[in-house]
Structure formats: C-alpha cells, structure tokens
Amino acid sequence: MAVLAGAFGLFGRARIGSRGGTDGAGNIFPVRRRKTAPIEANTRRPLVLHISSDYTDGLGERVAHRNWHPTLAVNNLVEGAEQFDHVVFSLRRRCFPAASFLVDLGHPRREHVRVFAYGHFGLPLGIGLFHSFWVAARTIRQVLQAEQLRPDAVHAHRLTFDGIAGWLLARALGIPLFVSIRGEVERKTFKFKPTYRPLMRRIVARSTGVFYVSAWYAAELGKYTDVDPARAQLLPNLVNETEIRSKPDCTPTSFVTVFNLNIWRKKGLKGLLAAFAEASKRSPTLRLSIVGGGRPRSIMEVRGLIERFGLESAVRLEGALPNAAVRERMSESMALVLPSHNETFGMVYLEALFAGAPILYSRGTGIDGFLDDLQVGIAVDPGSVEEIARALTELATNNTRYRRAVVASAGELSNRFGRDQVLARYARVIRSGISSYPRSDQLAIRPSRL
C-alpha cells in the first residue's frame, strides 16, 4: 500500500525547494531557481508550455529510458522560436516509483527557455497510461503555480502520450492546445490501444493547432479523428543548411546509406541489400557505401548480411564519420538510399537533398508527404525488394537528371524546410491561436481542475 500511495499520491504533490532535495517517495526537487523581476502582463512575451518526451535536456542516458535516443529536433524548434518565452517539461518514464525525479535545470542553453527534467512514474506497455499522465499534468500544474509561471499556450510534442498531459493542462488553465503528430508512436498507440481512440478524438477536437512532423500519417489520423484541415500544419524538423551544394563536374559511382548500425532492421538494410544484389546483376559496376557506427555485435550482423548476399566486393562499411564528412559522402554519391520502416521524419533525407543528392525513401513513412510534387527522389515500398531494385536501377541510369532536379528544386526545398521559414510559420500559428482563443469566462465548458 505504501508503494501505491507513492505512485498515485505523492507524485502529484511535488514541491519546489530553493536548495533541492528529495522526499520519501524519491522525488528530486529543483536544484536552483531563477530570480526575475515581475513582468507586466501587457508587456511580457507569450509564454509557451512544452510537454515533450523527445527533448534532450542534458541529463544524458544516466536517467534515460533504455529505448531513449537523443535528438535535438524539439530543442531546435523551441530554442529557435525566439518570439516567445518557453518552459519545457522534459518527460522520462520511470518504471519504479522510487526512481521518479523532478529537476529544475534553469536555462541551460537559451535565456528564453527554462527546462524541467521530470522522470514520471509509468508502467510498461502503456498500462495505466491516462492515470500516469494525469499525475504528470497535476505535478506540472503545481510546479507552474509555485514558480508563478502563467503559460499562454501548451504545445504537446506527441499526441498519444504527451498530448494527454497537454490536454489536461490546457483545460485546467483555459489556454489553447497545440499537438505535434509523430507517426511512429501515434500509429502504435492507435493500433494496440483502441480503447484510447475516443480520448484521442477529444484531444484533437480540443486542439487549436495540429502540427504534422510526420506528413505521411495525416490520412491515417483522419480515419480515427475529425482533424480540421484548417487547423493542420506541416512542421518538418529544422535544417540549418538550405543551400544546395551541387557538384556539376562530379560523376558519382556509388550509392550511400547512413544510419546507426544498431537499428539496421528498422532502417531496412536487409531489403536494401537484397535489392542491391538484384540491381547489381544488371549493372555489375554499382557500389554501395554504408556509413554509421554501432556496437560490435551489430557490425558483425551487418557484415554477415553483406556476405549472405555475396556483396563483399560491392558494399563497403565505412564506419562512423564526422558530420562534415558524411555530407561530403552524400554530395559525391548517386543517391542516399534508405528504405526505412516506421520512421517519424528522417533528417538524413533532408541532409542528403541539401548536399545535392537524390534520395530513395520509403512510401508511407519518414519524409513521405513532404516531397509529393518534387522529382528529387523515388518513394518505394520498404517491404518490396523488387520495387527497391527498380528504383536503384532508375537512379543509377538517370542519375544526372535526378541530380539536376534536386538543384532546380533548391528554392522550394528551402521554403519548405529552411529553418527561418519553418520557424516563421510556427510563430504565426502560435500567435494566431493565442490571440483568437476565448478567455476562460467565454468558454462554453468551464476549465477543469487538476
């Protein structure tokens, strides 16, 4: 009973201590506070509250879930949106109540971004999912009150997890809710937790704005929810380099693929190698470079796949390379070829395009949906070896045409994916949502309490 009390009671009653410390349930309270003078309501910048399980907060893997992979996608968006102040709750699910923590990291990277790292209790496999995020939302509400933080909007960076806490907080605070759609995790939740579909419909209906990080998931989300197209926006991950670095005198002779070898199954390597073996029968001079590091066991497995398909002389493992070297390899290649399975977005595709290389990408996942009207690559079924083989042959045979198409699309690629352009669109949507949102006394349903 004591364990249950800690799990379902104390974790909703976090206190803010100026010196830090823990309570009997193992919660770590903020270690430092930022002292600021009060800001007049009519002069302060809008404050956006971010709920994210994908924020890299600097604590590292020491307190990370075993399936957590560092990414700067959310960081780049939050830090780049300098028209606003931000408070971020970086969520980490903890399997045991005593492992929960709450740390005030202050302003670790940007003055306009305050970060709380929050390891919240949650059972595996999404058991008790709603209650877990209800407790998280309640704790966040109490921290906001203790720190006198008054958000003007909530942005939940996943619909099916962070969105639950974001929805509860938006209702409790009477402020607009924005949700990001990340197809990889959303697809799993809708598939394996059908009883949560009515809740997800309510969250989407309550949302002032819906941001598609995964454009490919838009149609599927429409099957489960009534997404208003007028409130939906594409929100690609940010890329800093938006000038196509073409090499007109370059005559590429090799394909390249770039990924972490530890997840070679997810990246579709087996199907790619099988298709490359087929394409090589028609074009024996084709070559493929695999760029990326991994654990010794993963490297051994990849070598085994190469030997299995008899590609020792045609496929080369290059290991991990510095970012500049990776871009150079992509710039010199015939194409980046990466038929991944269930990819949220896939920044490497954009990096290849801005390096001047065409891409082979998967249909119905990853970057699909952002490039439909551009002839800068070929979309394939990642489960079809025959289709991938045909695409490899096409990219090799007509490589000059595809590379020229990438250069010709430079302006449109920059408009769709450029950092400044994406941030400007994001800011417009947030500002519009805040300014048009009804005050709490005008809402048809009064704000709920946590």
> 70 or 426: whose pLDDT is higher?
426
Q: Which of 26-40, 154-168, 266-280 has the lowest mean pLDDT?
A: 26-40
Helix 129-146 / helix 162-173 crossing angle, nearest 10 deg: 50
* Number of CB atoms found within 10 A of residue 106's CB: 14
Average pLDDT of the chain to the nearest whole number? 85
Task: State the burial class of residue 263 (Cβ atoms within 10 Å of its Cβ: 0-12, 13-18, 19+).
Answer: middle
How large is the average pLDDT for residues 124-141? 91
Give the pLDDT score at 249: 60
Give the pLDDT score at 439: 60
Per CATH, domain 2-33+43-237+437-442 is 3.40.50.2000: yes
Residue 145 has pLDDT above 80, yes or no: yes
Amino acid occupying residue 278: E
Give the pLDDT score at 71: 75
Give the pLDDT score at 69: 57
pLDDT-based confidence at 5, cuts 50/70/90? very low
For 368-410, the pLDDT digits (tens) are: 999 988 999 999 999 999 999 999 999 999 999 999 999 999 9
Give the pLDDT score at 443: 52
Q: What is the pTM of this model?
A: 0.84
Give the pLDDT score at 24: 35
Q: What is the maximal distance between C-alpha atoms in the chain?
A: 72
Give the pLDDT score at 15: 38
Which sequence spans correspond to the domains of the chain? 2-33+43-237+437-442, 254-414
DSSP code, position 408: H
- The CATH architecture annotation of domain 254-414 reads 3-Layer(aba) Sandwich (3.40)
- Compute the half-sphere exposure of residue 450: CA atoms within 13 Å on the CB side of its CA: 28
% of the chain exceeding 90 in pLDDT: 67
pLDDT-based confidence at 123, cuts 50/70/90? confident
Amino acid occupying residue 325: A
pLDDT-based confidence at 235, cuts 50/70/90? very high
Query: Residue holding tokens 């997890």?
Result: 161
DSSP 73-92: HHHHHHHH-TTSEEEEEEEE
Residue 214 has pLDDT above 50, yes or no: yes
pLDDT-based confidence at 438, cuts 50/70/90? confident
Q: How far is CA 69 from CA 73, 108, 263, 407, in A?
A: 12, 20, 11, 33
Tokens of 335: 């194409």
For 278-295, the pLDDT digits (tens) are: 999 989 999 999 999 999
Residue 207 has pLDDT above 60, yes or no: yes
How large is the average pLDDT for residues 232-253? 78
For 295-342, the pLDDT digits (tens) are: 999 999 999 999 999 999 999 999 999 988 999 999 999 999 999 998
Give the pLDDT score at 447: 54
- In angstroms, rounded to a whole number, what is the distance separating the alpha carbons of residues 126 and 191? 12
How large is the average pLDDT for residues 123-134? 88
For 33-71, the pLDDT digits (tens) are: 444 444 444 457 999 999 999 898 877 654 444 445 557
Give the pLDDT score at 304: 96
Same fold, 2-33+43-237+437-442 and 254-414: yes
- In angstroms, rounded to a whole number, what is the distance separating the alpha carbons of residues 406 and 424? 24
Give the pLDDT score at 141: 95
